[in-house]
Amino acid sequence: MTRLHLPKFSLGVGDRFAHQAKAQLQACVLAKGEGVDVTPVWNKSNREHLIIGSSPKETRAAADVAVREFGWTGAYFVDADHINLENFERFLDPCDFFTIDVADQIGTAFNEEEMEKFIGRHPELQGEISIPGIQDPFRTDKAFVMQVAKQFLAAVQHASKIYQEICAKKGEGTFITEISMDETTSPQTPLELLIILAAIADEKVPIQTIAPKFTGRFNKGVDYVGDEKQFAREFRDDLATIAYAVNHYGLPENLKLSVHSGSDKYSIYKGIRAGMQEFNAGVHLKTAGTTWLEELIGLAEAGGRSLNLAKEIYATAYAHADELCEPYEAVIDIQRNKLPLPAEVHTWTSDQFVRALRHDQDDAAYNRHFRQLLHVGFKVAAKLGQRYTDILRENETIVARNVTQNLFERHIRPIFIGS
């Protein structure tokens, strides 16, 4: 059976209001101009669809139009991001990439019998495990494997159930499968990843990407917070582990890591690229809200009533900060006392607004609290409805330039091109 295949380098692009597909694709066109194939994957989670009141069909339509207008002949996909058993149905037709989210099932009711079977099937997971590329062998015992299985087996089996349901309705091989475990509290070590991959292989889920939780904090739209060296070490060990698991458990040969909340993590891109080069590995980098922030930057740059609208969005977001932050608690860090007051922002020039928002850490005017609040503030723009989208359309050129440059210069270049 031939299976839809995800190329080595891929970029998840989120497009909250379905107006930037062309500007996003343009970033991949620029990469191609430098001889590097980067596959765009339009991702939008159920959570974002609900907040905006949009549907996966619209994401598909915007992607198709952009691809057609550019004459893009490369692969591209539409990702049902973070779906589960309750909400996958409406993604079936428009999507050909499914990110099955089982973070909620981690550590839940495990079945003793299933666990014994798993342990029995995998004597190789006990004792000494030497993974090429990782210097010291891992040493494990039955108790350790059981402890990991207790955490993850139910989650993997649940993912398998969702995968089977999608297969039954869509047909095997007609979509890319990712399993995500990133929105949970503790990071997974390379050894845990190996055990999880063994369980996924048992279930015969042909995953092409997996999103573990990495060490450190991946806050939305801002840089990585954590030990960059430790991240780089674990990332390369994860790559070694994946290569090993592909060989030992017959997982798809193009299986790669998916980095969620991957936008704007400038301080770890070097480590990611170094690991990719060492193992000749690919990566899937998911970015989403970074594009909506570029829309706001474009509007602020345009000045006049567009700038006023950006200010209005901030003032409303400021007034509703609790409600806006709540669904994103695990992935933002906003110090309220570092947020400028709306009255102050009201007096800002176009340049002041742009500099506070644009992700340039060398600029003293950059404010990551301001940026994060606006990141989760897309609901405010969604509520403005046509008032927002009309103004986006009026400023298409200036917005598109920001969207493309951000994806190409700040994301594609450091990770996939490296210069």
Applying CB under 5 A, the residues found at the interface with Zn ion are 182, 260
d(CA 271, CA 277): 10
**Nearer Cβ to Zn ion (261/406):** 261
- Least distance (Å) between residue 35 CB and Zn ion: 30
Min dist CB 183 to Zn ion, Å, is 6
Spell 339-369 as b/e; 16+ CB within 10 A means b: bbeeeebeebebebbbbbbbbeeeeeebbbb
Q: How far is the CB of 27 from Zn ion (least distance, A)?
A: 20
Looking at beta carbons only, is 182 or 238 nearer to Zn ion? 182
Nearer CB in complex with Zn ion: 183/237: 183
User: In angstroms, what is the minimal distance from the CB of 289 to Zn ion?
Assistant: 11
State in angstroms the smallest separation of the CB of 333 from Zn ion. 17
Query: Going by C-beta distance under 8 Å and a sequence separation of 6 or more, which residues neighbour residue 224?
Result: 216, 217, 218, 231, 265, 266, 267, 268
Query: Alpha-carbon distance 180 to 209, whole Å?
Result: 9
Neighbours of 273 (CB within 10 A): 17
Q: What is the helix (H) or strand (E) element at residue 119, kind and residue range?
A: helix 112-121
- DSSP secondary structure code for residue 280 in this structure: T
Q: Least Å distance between CB 120 and Zn ion?
A: 33
- Within 10 A of 336 (CB to CB), how many other CB atoms are there? 11
Question: What is the C-alpha to C-alpha distance for residues 270 and 418, in angstroms, rounded to an integer?
Answer: 8
Give me the amino acid identity at 104. Answer: D
Minimum CB distance to Zn ion smaller for 180 or for 306: 180
Closest residue to Zn ion, based on beta-carbon distance: 260
Are β-strands 138-140 and 127-129 bridged in parallel, bridged antiparallel, or unpaired? antiparallel
